[in-house]
Amino acid sequence: MAYPVGRLARRRALGLCIALLVLGSPWVQRPFFTADRTPATGWLLQVLEVPAWQPSLALRYAVPGLVDWSADLSAAVLLLGCYLLLPRLVPAAPAGPVRWMTAIGTGAAITALAVLPLWAIRSGLQDLHVPAVQVLTNLLGPSIAFGLLLGLVAGFLYLPTGGAAPQAVPPRLPRLRRPGRTLAMAEPATPALGSVPGDATRYLCAAAYQDPGFARLVVEEVLADEFGAVAPSPGVDLVPVARHCLAARELLRRRDRTLLPVYLGLLLVSPFWLLIGRLVLRLLALGAVPPRAKHPVRGHADPDSSATLGRLAATGLSALVLALGLGVLLGQLPFDGVWVWLFGTYLYGIPPLLALATAAVLTFRTVRAHLAEVDKRLRETLRRERFDPAAVPQPAPEAPWAKDRLGAIAEAQRGNVTVYSGYTPFLGFAKAQGTLTVNVPLLPAEKPGQPAGEVTEFEVWELITELRAKLEALAVPETAEDGLHGLILEDRVFVDGATLHGDTRFFDDSQLAPVTRLTPEQLREVAEHPSGTVRHYLAAHLPMWGDDVVPSLFLHLSTTGRTLDIRCSIHALGPVHRSYHAVDSLPLRLTGEHRHALLLGALRDTGPALGGALRAALDRRAAERRRLKRLVRDHAALGADPAFDHGARLSVREAALGPVYQNFFQELDAYRTVATLAQHAMAAIRVFLDEHGVDTTALRGQQLTILNHGVLQQGGVSIVGNQAVGTNSQAVNDSSTRVSMTKP
């Protein structure tokens, strides 16, 4: 997030100006002028003398009394540039390397401009016996060096403040997400909420075009990981998401391939003017940002076109005057050799100016065409009334490996196995919001005045089958209770991907990734004999709010001796990031206001697109090479390492999670659903045990505690009723809470 340009930014710039004023004062500069100069220290002292505003600078060139005020003028230009340019350009740059480069480049540009008045006055003096080019060389080198130091200081001053945003991507993966939206779409204060099944899939398909980092994450961490498993999630179809990510990457590749000759052409004309072009386009991008509303509003309104155009015209005129002035000035300098090409001073600097203007126009047209294509695709294929998940977006992938991985994704979604990597098995279902553990001794029931009966022997699979049938009855439309219509029940096996060596159940000679579907007989075997890192869970999911919110309940049942162990894990997938909902705010038809917003968005993206064309082109060309190297490396490790990890390292659905719920009732519905499912599951288990002659007195007591107070086991702390046991324990008593959960 960009650093806010406001009073604080101005204050920091003012503080920097005061520091420069002190550094350039005669009292601070006097030791620099009187110090002995050696080849090693002379140039460093000249760098420190750049902000000087004392008359002793003139004495070095033996022109006393004539140019005393020229140093003061240069110092004034330096201070004015720092106060006006630094707080406007540096905080507006994206945090990270881009902001550091902006700070360093702005600092160097300010100091280079600051020495021009001093040089112009000196070169115009009749009594100055030093050649003008030598004066410029003597002044320009130390000034640029001081500007680099000034830029580093400015970079530290405008470091982003505040804590890091919640990370949905696992920390072991590279953080590739959200480098910035590519469309000129404002993020609404109140985003459109999911309401129709399939909305979550549609939002992720739109994210492929809005967020290049998300598309890259899906392609390089899921599709290109041919030995890794795929982590499916309820309520989302990953196949169309992956297809749209491939299509979005191809559209960007075509755009960058078109811009690469423009970049190389401008670089060939003059490398220095390529940097100037980046600065000019950055200024234009700042002018294209619509002014924000001064007061909170209830909804998003179209920006004031007249105000935006006025700012853009003023910024463009200033940038044009600056570029023309710099071109004329550089054209007057007597550079020789390679310096003429580097600074573009040949033919009075006219060719670099024309090349810069041509490159800017061509880049703007290319970016505008790309944004128009993406906007058309979003409006015509990814709006709710027009979305078809079975449609294949163009350009479709042609590489055989991509088609094979799409098939593996489809197979994983139809499967019943999650092969995970790392510690937590529930990849794809969000982190656990709460756990519930109940241990029931399998003792015969006793009635007052009667001898104890016998326990009817049963297998765990019988209990799972009965529990599944009871929960399925809750989802029947005619008899659905408590809003559980649409409930999805599945048997799912979780297995650590680093422990699959030698287990033939999870491998097939026809594919590189592990098998994601077990037969019913294999499922029963895992459920009745849980051991090692392979465990069975009965999972219940209820997609709601257009699949944007999916609460889940995982039940693990097993017997240890004469004890039935019941473990319940509660999860809730929250809404995808609110910026991905912006597709629902697009107009059905291209309006004048929306066309204007696209033009401004293209203007804002012109500079980054041109500056990143070479890097993007090289990265695209290296992507296939990286995939092949990864394939060879993994193949070698597979044969040498028995603990080779086949597990999925990324959940696409979790990678797109927003930091918070977008509506109060989304969270309420999720909690209500898992509480209802837990109550029905415990009741069904109790009935089954009663029918088999098991004493359920303890289970009834624990169930009553759950109903009245809730049970939560999280982070080594167990809470039963209003008593807490564990590290840093804290008891919570809320009689209205059925099942306690930790809020996301």
- Residue pLDDT, tens place only, 557-579: 999 888 999 999 999 999 999 88
* pLDDT value for 585: 85
CA 660 to chain centre: 15
46-65 per-residue burial string, b: 16 or more CB within 10 A, e: under 16: bbbbbbbbbbbbbeebebee
* pLDDT value for 707: 62
Query: Angle at which helices 238-269 and 613-640 pack, to 10 degrees?
Result: 130
Q: What size, in residues, is the chain? A: 744
pLDDT of residue 174 exceeding 70, the answer is no
Percent of residues, the chain, with pLDDT higher than 70: 73
Q: Are 563 and 442 in contact (CB under 8 A)?
A: yes
pLDDT of residue 179 exceeding 50, the answer is no
Name residue, tokens 């220290």.
41
Residue 25, classed as helix, strand or coil, is coil
Higher local confidence (pLDDT), 584 or 708: 584
Q: How confident is the model at residue 354 (pLDDT cuts 50, 70, 90)?
A: confident
* pLDDT value for 726: 43
Residue 354 is classified by DSSP as H
pLDDT of residue 67 exceeding 90, the answer is no
Rg (CA), the chain: 34
Q: How confident is the model at residue 139 (pLDDT cuts 50, 70, 90)?
A: confident
Residue 508 is classified by DSSP as -
Higher local confidence (pLDDT), 450 or 651: 651
Q: Are 12 and 158 in contact (CB under 8 A)?
A: yes
* pLDDT value for 173: 43
Query: Angle at which helices 68-89 and 7-23 pack, to 10 degrees?
Result: 150
DSSP E strand stretches across 449-514: 488-496
Contacts of 504 by beta carbon, 8 Å cutoff, 6+ apart = none
Percent of residues, the chain, with pLDDT higher than 90: 26
Measure the CA–CA gap between 461 and 466, rounded to whole angstroms.
9
9: phi then psi, degrees, rounded to nearest 5: -65, -40
Burial class (CB in 10 A: 0-12, 13-18, 19+), 173: middle
**CA separation, residue 643 to residues 136, 637, 647 (Å):** 65, 9, 11
| 360-375 pLDDT per residue, tens | 889 999 999 999 999 9
| 578-632 pLDDT per residue, tens | 889 888 888 888 887 788 888 888 888 888 888 888 888 888 888 888 888 888 8
95: phi then psi, degrees, rounded to nearest 5: -60, 145
* pLDDT value for 713: 42
Measure the CA–CA gap between 476 and 472, rounded to whole angstroms.
7
Higher local confidence (pLDDT), 644 or 511: 644
* pLDDT value for 40: 59
pLDDT of residue 479 exceeding 90, the answer is no
* pLDDT value for 738: 36
pLDDT of residue 722 exceeding 60, the answer is no
- Helices and strands (DSSP H and E) totals, the chain: 22, 9
Measure the CA–CA gap between 557 and 53, rounded to whole angstroms.
81
pLDDT of residue 721 exceeding 50, the answer is no
Nearest to 130 by CA among 142, 114, 144, 119: 119
Measure the CA–CA gap between 328 and 350, rounded to whole angstroms.
8
Q: How confident is the model at residue 9 (pLDDT cuts 50, 70, 90)?
A: confident
Q: Are 479 and 473 in contact (CB under 8 A)?
A: yes
* pLDDT value for 409: 93
